[in-house]
Amino acid sequence: MDFLVKADKLKVFRKKGLSMLNYMVIFKCVNNRGIQTCTGKTLKQEAEMELNLKARAKINLSLEIIGKREDGYHDLSMIMQSIDIYDTIKLKLNHTKDIKLITNKSFGQAKDNIAFKAAKLFLSHTSSSLGCEIDLHKAIPSEAGLGGGSADAAAVLLGLNHLTGNPLSEKELISLGTQLGADVSFCLFGGTMYAQGTGNILQTLPFLELDLLLVKPDESVPTKALFSILDKDDFSSGEDSKKLADLITNRELTNIRDHMVNKMYKKSLKFAPAMEKIISDLEDKFSCEKALMSGAGSAVFGVFSDKESLEKAYDYFCTKYPYVYKTKTCDKSVAFVRSK
């Protein structure tokens, strides 16, 4: 069935199964029996369009576990924040109907990678006859509590939606993201957000600008294993996250460190005990304002107001740990990058 969309005040007809960039290609109906190119690129050229994206990591400025749900998941209360450490993704549409994943890291079978799953879900949901190639360059450490996989999935969803003429609404993209992972919904937006539920209930907060040092030891924390050992002693009311959200909203930033907590930290130490010394060194040796584990770990970040102290800390930790980054907060998770 043909349907009509509007793009830049120009009417565009699309045939079911054909995915077109409505801002690149203009078509007209010919006797209701087909489509004819009026101007712009050909279908073949359009379908080979590519897009480059940055998929940014996240940290948790607070993370509290409210309780375990009947479906086995946990209700959470947290402040999530995008940071300027990112994977890069090149998306390219084609006519093969297949999805191809190329990556610089080994993840087993491609079909098990969340970026691949995101592409498959999107193309299936939109009944597209197209395929795509995903060239994924991983830079965000895995099993670190930084949401690298979720960021990749969000970037693929947003990128494919852009390349195919934005067929899905924001609400539909969130629905797909929720099917892929708890953090994907946040990664569709990014910035500074108050998250509740499993991470699917989101409230946008004023952007919080911070300079950070992030350190990850060799040890990693398997998220599923960590959640399996959480008990009632790890649960809390969520009041710290709520208070932190209020302080950020009202720009009362002097006391935010008092409500920056991570209730998973004690159990995560069973998998990555090196985090304890990293936090101690950040706070005692270099006087960072606050040091905290991100997500389920094992990455730790320190908030610095003095850049000289941050530089000294960076030099120190680079001699001791494999992953050390000077970074900052960002106001969005996914960024479209102009091709050179």
Distances (CA, A) of 175 to 121, 170, 180, 203: 11, 9, 9, 16
Q: Where are the extended beta strands (E) located within the chain?
A: 3-7, 10-14, 25-29, 35-40, 50-68, 74-94, 99-103, 131-137, 192-197, 201-204, 211-216, 290-293, 300-304, 323-328, 334-337
List all residues 6 or more positions away from 21 whose beta carbon is below 8 Å from its beta carbon: 41, 46, 49, 163, 164, 165
- 267 catalytic residue (yes or no): no
The tokens for 218 are: 């060799």
- 58 catalytic residue (yes or no): yes
- Amino acid letter, residue 126: T
Catalytic residue among 87, 117, 152, 183: 183
The tokens for 21 are: 């960039």
Phi, psi at residue 53, to the nearest 5°?
A: -135, 150
Cα gap 275→278, rounded to integer Å: 5
Preceding peptide of 268 cis, ω within 30°: no
Closest CA to 171 of 187, 188, 150: 188
Catalytic residue among 58, 92, 216, 263: 58
Q: Residue ranges of the alpha helices (H) in the chain?
A: 43-47, 114-125, 148-163, 170-180, 184-187, 223-228, 239-249, 265-268, 274-284, 307-318
- Interhelix angle 114-125/170-180, rounded to 10 degrees, is 140
Cα gap 93→187, rounded to integer Å: 22
Active-site residue list: 58, 183
